[in-house]
Amino acid sequence: MKKMLLSIILFAALCFDAFALPKCEGDKWDNCVGSFTAEDGSKYEGEWRNAQPSRKGTFTASNGDVYKGEHKKGNPHGKGTFTSKTGDKYIGEWKEGQPHGNGTFVYPDGREYKGEWKEGKKHGKGTYHSPQGTKYVGTFKDDLINGQGVLSLPNGDKYEGNHKNGIPHGKGTFASKTGDKYIGEWKEGKKHGKGTFIAASGNKYKGQWKDNKKSGKGTFSSPDGKKYVGEVKDDKKHGKGTYTSPDGNKYVGEYKNDKYDGKGTFIAPDGSKYKGEWKEGKFHGKGTVTSSENVKEDLYFVRGAIVGQHIKCSDAPFDKLESLLVLHEEADSEICGMVASSKNKRYCGVLKKEIEICKSKTKK
């Protein structure tokens, strides 16, 4: 009964408001309701005071745009609805002719924003969504996504964190529909700074990023126990680092483009090790091999193969001569040109003789 009485009272109040003002007549339009059409075809229907549109009414522009609601000094002010001839629609609060306060804007293509406005722009907390499935819930500034919020994309990807001018910037978390995840810092829409990337496979990188790529210092780890700690460049191990595997293998040294390259030490599970130079993941140059019994031997390598007196052309079968010749010539170029000890000079002398033997045998 109380609800019914309340409804009746409200209905009566609305009726009284609608019919309280008389119809405007004569030359003096004051505190009345009337309609006026201008020469350009624009029209106003509503309340008048002192011969001016006042309080509530409907403005219809000559181009077809329509505003219906509260106004002040000829401008939308208070609550009202604007509908453009192109299909845009705003329902909400106004201040001095601009959306200001809480309101909903609906685009012709079905996109919608519902939230706070300031001086005609989306500003404050709000929700945006599109018919395609894009959705953002968070803060806006100057008509753009700015500050904290959650962005969900139609393909299932999701970003939660800070934004600047519509793109991720600051700290945030990105999760793809495939299961990959990044937690960390962003700059102008790219991973930049410190962050952790966890792949759906379980592989993980934790460290520094630059322009959306792993760069700086970081740690790679995998579910099977493999681990790398060191320098990274353009998503690859590059610089100085340490690699360990669950089977006991260990490498400490320099990397280039994800491969052992430069100077480094490889230690096997049985304690044997190689300490020396590397190229593209293989022994290359001078190195010392130490057995598990701690027996050391200084050797020279080219692309992983021992060269010089350890592989002699005089003893090699004919089908191996050309490959041996290439190895020896590379050794002569890359090793003999940069060593100066008497021992190395003797080695290079032997190497040059082997090259001559290889060349003579290949000509036969």
Over range 139-163, report the average pLDDT. 97
pLDDT confidence of residue 63: 95
CA 22 remoteness from chain centre: 63
| One domain, residues 39 and 103 | yes
pLDDT tens-digit series, residues 196-223: 999 999 999 999 999 999 999 999 999 9
CB atoms within 10 A of CB 324: 22
Higher pLDDT, 303 or 60: 60
| One domain, residues 120 and 136 | no
Q: Which of 14-28, 230-244, 299-313, 336-350 has the highest mean pLDDT?
A: 230-244
Is it the case that residue 78 has pLDDT exceeding 60? yes
DSSP three-state, residue 358: helix
Distance, in Å, from the CA atom of 247 to the CA atom of 270, rounded to the nearest integer, reads 10
CA 302 remoteness from chain centre: 42
Q: Which domain holds residue 90?
A: 22-124
The type of residue at 216 is G
Is it the case that residue 6 has pLDDT exceeding 60? no
| One domain, residues 194 and 145 | yes
Is it the case that residue 282 has pLDDT exceeding 50? yes
| One domain, residues 104 and 174 | no
Is it the case that residue 106 has pLDDT exceeding 60? yes
Distance, in Å, from the CA atom of 254 to the CA atom of 273, rounded to the nearest integer, reads 16
Q: For residue 224, tell me if it sits in a domain.
A: no
Among 124, 140, 169, the domain boundary falls at 124
Q: For residue 313, tell me if it sits in a domain.
A: no
Over range 272-295, report the average pLDDT. 89
Q: For residue 272, tell me if it sits in a domain.
A: no
Fill in the DSSP letter of residue 214.
E
| One domain, residues 75 and 112 | yes
| One domain, residues 116 and 28 | yes
Q: What is the CATH number of the domain that holds 44?
A: 2.20.110
Among 151, 170, 198, the domain boundary falls at 198
Over range 165-188, report the average pLDDT. 97
Higher pLDDT, 149 or 11: 149
For the record, the structure tokens of 336 come out as: 């003999």
Distance, in Å, from the CA atom of 70 to the CA atom of 182, rounded to the nearest integer, reads 48
Side-chain-side CA neighbours of 356 within 13 Å: the count stands at 6
Q: For residue 51, tell me if it sits in a domain.
A: yes
Is it the case that residue 153 has pLDDT exceeding 70? yes
pLDDT confidence of residue 11: 27
Among 177, 198, 219, the domain boundary falls at 198
pLDDT confidence of residue 17: 43
Q: For residue 332, tell me if it sits in a domain.
A: no
| One domain, residues 113 and 177 | no
Over range 254-269, report the average pLDDT. 96
| One domain, residues 103 and 177 | no
pLDDT confidence of residue 297: 83
| One domain, residues 108 and 156 | no
pLDDT confidence of residue 217: 98
Q: How many independent structural domains does the chain possess?
A: 2
pLDDT tens-digit series, residues 80-98: 999 999 999 999 999 999 9
Q: Average per-residue pLDDT in the chain? A: 85
| One domain, residues 100 and 176 | no
With a pLDDT cut of 90, the percent of the chain lying above it is: 69
**Confidence band for 8, pLDDT divided at 50, 70 and 90:** very low
Q: For residue 149, tell me if it sits in a domain.
A: yes
Fill in the DSSP letter of residue 314.
G
| One domain, residues 101 and 58 | yes
Higher pLDDT, 361 or 299: 299
pLDDT confidence of residue 305: 66
Q: For residue 204, tell me if it sits in a domain.
A: no
Q: For residue 262, tell me if it sits in a domain.
A: no
List phi, psi (to 5°) of 80: -170, 170
pLDDT confidence of residue 9: 25
